[in-house]
Chains A and B, each alone.
Chain A
Amino acid sequence: MGRFRQSYRRLTERHRKPLVMVRLLLLAVVLLAAVIVSIGLGSLRVPVSDVLRTLVGLGEQKYELIVYQLRMPRIAASILVGAAMAISGTILQALIRNPLASPDLLGTTSGATAAVVAFITIMNGQVAVGWMPVVAMAGGCIASAITYLLAWRGGSSPLRMAMIGVSVSSAMGALTIYFTLAGPIYLVSQALGWMAGTVYGTSWTHVLYLAPWVVVGGALALFQSRSLNVLELGDRIAIGVGMRVERNRFLFIILAVVLASAAVGIAGGISFVGLMAPHMARKLVGNHNGAIVTASALLGALFLLLADLVGRTVFVPLDIPAGIFTAILGAPFFIYLMYRHRHG
């Protein structure tokens, strides 16, 4: 009955397409505004008019460095990381058909974090940025595979997935601390920042190494969103319309893990964005996966951008990892979700 209603709703959504487009545009405008405001705010305040002038190349010399070299890369990194996490969460929620699914719950985030910290320690801090997303992906894939395999018992119940995800995450957390302590003491602060998740100190190099993964991954998710839609309806329907379910599901999970891990490779264990953004996106634009992937990416980007803005402006002169704020907001949201979706 529920499934019928869902399919019906999806059919009727066609008629609301203009509304969805308006909302997506609105979201993009809000993100753009947040970017401009965020460029202006910081230890040295740049007025909005100057931000705009600098962006089109007519600004004063003194703002150039701040805008282009300090704030823009960091903002770009937040947007990419937030979007990657959000798209990854959207895919996982559709695939696993579990409202609590997210890269955090699958152990991807913590596995990638452990791999990166191990890598930093083994290489004694001398690491090339380009390798980070790759190393993170290896860790993220391993941890997610462990969680998924262990949680599988002829199906994956939300609780079993959650419990095993929590356990695998804490094992990965223990490994992270182990590798932190195994290395020299001056690497501890670097590793701690990683564990919480931060875009502090990102340069254009970081952005350049992250961008391909996110852009290609996001595009794939967007273009394949139709298959994602079908998969979400359940295996029987998907097989009925002629889809190779297992292969598609496997590829989508790889895509989700790659997106989230690449983000962790640059920004560390940013949690809860991959959980929250898809749910808010669903509220805004409904269940259609093309729209939901876009909306979710925009929301995730906006979310992390704001978290980082708070982290670097509210506690001046300290720079607080954005991941802490996403977790402070995300945990109550998680509890709220449990009440909305009652699978208990």
Chain B
Amino acid sequence: MNSLLSTDKGKAAGFAGALALLILSAAASVLFGLRNFSLDTVIQAYTSYTGSDEQLIIRTSRVPRALTAAVIGCSLAVSGVLLQAMTRNPLASPSILGINAGAALAIVSMLYWYGAVFTFGDLIWVAFIGAGISAGAIFLIATAGKGGMTPIKLILTGSALASFATSINSLFMLISNETLEGALYWLTGSVSNSNLNHTLQLLPYMAAGWVIALLMTRSLNVMAMGDDVAIGLGQRMVWVKLLTLLVVVLLAGGSVALAGPIAFVGIMIPHISRWLIGNDHRWVLPYSAVLGAAFLLLADTLSRFLIHGKEVPVGVTTAVLGVPFVVALVRRKALGQI
């Protein structure tokens, strides 16, 4: 295994480093933006609350936003790991396979048909169902036909379904009287209007997803070796795959309900983790979770400075950062045969 960190001790140290990076990026996300705060101000906002503008911004905007970005980054990265292990396809991720777009379509179409009558609790379930249906459809379509599921079929089916869902999405948005800024939000994903209550409401589902994923790491290792080996080792593949898919739907659907479809986190982070510590999912999964959170926090902080005085949706920033990465990935020799 040609990974950067090969010993267990090195991996543990690296993990501590990743955690430190996460804490630093969370701090950066809270401190820097249109207005910069000092660490003291942030601490005072929670210890001696006076209701000043600064403290209000920190408590109602910066901290919720950082928390949301961390939760979503972590969830998207974990679902990327799960999908890549399950399909043994290095390009799989919730956005490329169209799962994010499906969840977004479900939310937008419910809002279109019934108006803004939903609580956030309802929308979470709408997103889960949307993500579930699109995941099911993609895997069914990609498996159908001669030859079963090949990597190219899966990826192309996913991207075709994603652009299908996205165009129906824009259709609904143009028909209804949603504001255009709101429309952009469902097309690219943004954490700028994070609501602490929403994030906390979703957190139990996400946490359940993370825990199940962590418990499944051994099965993921077996699954990544291929169906034949896995069955030979006594894995009940159908159930493992269904459970994996369920967790993906939970994590990707939840992320979309909170922030819209954010691309490229789910494909980049697992590769970076594997590059750091190799193919063992017992390490890849926690690394990806932490690095995913840190990445989205940094991307969100960065997106406050891309246009002077305005914010760019974080989905734009992740795309700009992620595209060179995917291009490099696709050009690598290992993928030449696909």
In Å, the complex CA distance between A339 and B317 comes to: 35
Interface residues of A in 143-192 (CB under 8 A from B): 150-151, 153, 157-160, 162-164, 166-168, 170-171, 173-175, 177-178, 180-182, 185, 188-189, 192
A163 touches B91 (CB 8 A): yes
Interface size class of B (residues with CB under 8 A): 35 or more
In Å, the complex CA distance between A334 and B327 comes to: 22
Q: Which residues of B contact A164 (CB under 8 A)?
A: 326-327, 330-331
Interface size on A, residues (CB 8 A): 48
B157 touches A157 (CB 8 A): no
Q: Does A343 make an interface contact (CB < 8 A)?
A: yes
Q: Which residues of A contact B330 (CB under 8 A)?
A: 151, 160, 163-164, 167
Q: Which residues of A contact B1 (CB under 8 A)?
A: none
Interface residues of B in 278-300 (CB under 8 A from A): none
A337 CB, min distance to chain B CBs, angstroms: 9
B313 touches A324 (CB 8 A): no
In Å, the complex CA distance between A182 and B184 comes to: 14
B323 touches A171 (CB 8 A): yes
A30 CB, min distance to chain B CBs, angstroms: 25
Q: Which residues of B contact A158 (CB under 8 A)?
A: 152
Q: Does B181 make an interface contact (CB < 8 A)?
A: yes
Most chain A CB neighbours (cut-off 10 Å) among B183, B311, B316, B320: B316
Q: Known interface pairs A178-B312, A320-B175. Does A192 touch B183 (Cβ–Cβ under 8 Å)? A: yes
Q: Does B49 make an interface contact (CB < 8 A)?
A: no
Interface residues of A in 170-224 (CB under 8 A from B): 170-171, 173-175, 177-178, 180-182, 185, 188-189, 192, 195-196
A178 touches B331 (CB 8 A): no
Q: Which residues of B contact A185 (CB under 8 A)?
A: 181
B263 touches A170 (CB 8 A): yes
Q: Which residues of B contact A230 (CB under 8 A)?
A: none
Q: Known interface pairs A318-B174, A318-B175. Does A168 touch B323 (Cβ–Cβ under 8 Å)? A: yes
Q: Known interface pairs A153-B331, A192-B180, A324-B171. Does A170 touch B155 (Cβ–Cβ under 8 Å)? A: no
Q: Does B18 make an interface contact (CB < 8 A)?
A: no
Q: Does A321 make an interface contact (CB < 8 A)?
A: yes
Q: Tell me the nearest residue of chain A to B307, going by C-beta.
A: A182
Question: Which listed segment binds B: A15-23, A64-72, A238-246, A325-333?
Answer: A325-333
Q: Does B336 make an interface contact (CB < 8 A)?
A: yes
In Å, the complex CA distance between A35 and B307 comes to: 45
A174 touches B320 (CB 8 A): yes
B96 CB, min distance to chain A CBs, angstroms: 8
Of the residues B91, B141, B164, B326, contact of A328 by C-beta under 8 Å: B164
A344 touches B171 (CB 8 A): no
Most chain A CB neighbours (cut-off 10 Å) among B147, B163, B183: B163
Q: Does B29 make an interface contact (CB < 8 A)?
A: no
A99 CB, min distance to chain B CBs, angstroms: 11
Q: Which residues of B contact A287 (CB under 8 A)?
A: none
A102 CB, min distance to chain B CBs, angstroms: 12
Taken residue by residue from 81 to 115, chain A's Cβ proximity to chain B (1 for < 8 Å, 0 otherwise) reads as 00000000000000000001000000000000000
B168 touches A328 (CB 8 A): yes
In Å, the complex CA distance between A88 and B170 comes to: 26
Q: Known interface pairs A177-B312, A318-B174. Does A189 touch B180 (Cβ–Cβ under 8 Å)? A: yes
Q: Known interface pairs A178-B307, A192-B183. Does A328 touch B167 (Cβ–Cβ under 8 Å)? A: yes
**Contacts A/B (CB < 8 Å), 11 sampled:** A162-B152, A162-B159, A163-B155, A174-B317, A177-B184, A181-B307, A182-B310, A320-B174, A324-B167, A327-B167, A328-B168
**Beyond A271-B163, A320-B174, 19 extra complex contacts between A and B, CB < 8 Å:** A153-B331, A162-B152, A164-B327, A164-B330, A167-B323, A168-B327, A170-B264, A174-B315, A174-B316, A177-B188, A178-B312, A181-B307, A192-B174, A320-B171, A332-B160, A335-B157, A338-B152, A338-B156, A338-B157
